[in-house]
């Protein structure tokens, strides 16, 4: 094994094999996935997960959990199957309109910009009715735990926004 390569989890195949031989392997992997779903079987080997805990560099105190980073290793085939199933669920949710139109998380064609446009359009509609708009927004700088929030009060004029 050359430097920079990692030993795969026992029973899994290196990503390079799947990437280089995907056209050849895809029909067989699809048959395995279909059979597993139809029979409602999930191999015990697929349930195995290895979690490595490493120090975050530059931390002064390693007595607190935030000084560590966990890395989870999954079987390559399981990652592939999970991606296929997630894509299928997303497709079905869109096809049968199972999510509300204003749901933007992890949906194709529903970008962050789309959600911001909806927010702005909603705010402008409220302003036209001469009403007050209040927006509760998580602080994007906050990592871990409960996010700090700031309440942005906006009066009838958008230029009068007040923040923390």
The residues pairing with 133 across neighbouring beta strands, listed in sequence order, are 154
Same domain membership, residue 64 and residue 89: yes
In this prediction, residue 154 carries a pLDDT of: 45
In this structure, the answer to whether residues 22 and 67 fall within a common structural domain is: yes
Q: How far apart are CA 25 and CA 19, in angstroms?
A: 10
Higher pLDDT, 3 or 7: 7
Nearest Cα to 85, choosing from 119, 135, 126, 34?
Answer: 34
- Write down the pLDDT at residue 92: 94
Q: Which of 22-26, 127-131, 158-162 bottoms out in mean pLDDT, i.e. has the lowest? A: 158-162
Is 104 inside a domain boundary? Answer: no
Q: Please report the DSSP string for 95-139 in residue order.
A: HTT-S-TT--TT-TT--HHHHHHHHHHHHHHHHHTT--EEEEEE-
Q: How many domains is the chain built from?
A: 2
Banded model confidence at residue 119, pLDDT cuts 50, 70, 90:
confident
Q: Tell me, yes or no, whether 86 lies in a domain.
A: yes
Chain centre distance of CA 32: 26
Q: Which domain, by its residues, includes 141?
A: 112-160
How much is the pLDDT for 132?
Answer: 86
What pLDDT is recorded for position 63? 86
Does 66 reside within a domain? yes
Both 91 and 128 in a single domain?
no
The mean pLDDT of 15-36, rounded to a whole number, is 88
Is the same domain home to 89 and 119? Answer: no
53 falls within a domain:
yes
Same domain, 83 and 123: no
Give domain status of residue 71, yes or no.
Answer: yes
């Amino acid at each position: 094994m050359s430097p920079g390569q990692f030993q795969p989890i026992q029973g899994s195949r290196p990503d390079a094999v799947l990437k280089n031989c995907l056209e050849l392997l895809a029909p067989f992997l699809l048959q395995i996935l279909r059979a597993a779903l139809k029979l409602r079987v999930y191999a015990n080997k697929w349930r195995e997960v290895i979690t490595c805990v490493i120090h975050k560099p530059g931390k002064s105190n390693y007595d607190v959990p935030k000084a560590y980073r966990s890395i989870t290793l999954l079987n390559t085939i399981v990652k592939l199957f999970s991606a296929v199933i997630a894509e299928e669920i997303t497709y079905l949710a869109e096809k049968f309109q199972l999510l509300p139109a204003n749901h933007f998380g992890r949906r194709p064609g529903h970008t962050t910009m789309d959600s911001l446009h909806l927010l702005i359009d909603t705010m402008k509609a409220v302003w036209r009715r001469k009403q007050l708009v209040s927006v509760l927004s998580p602080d994007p700088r906050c990592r871990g735990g409960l996010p700090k929030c700031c309440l942005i009060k906006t009066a009838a004029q958008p230029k009068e926004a007040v923040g923390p």
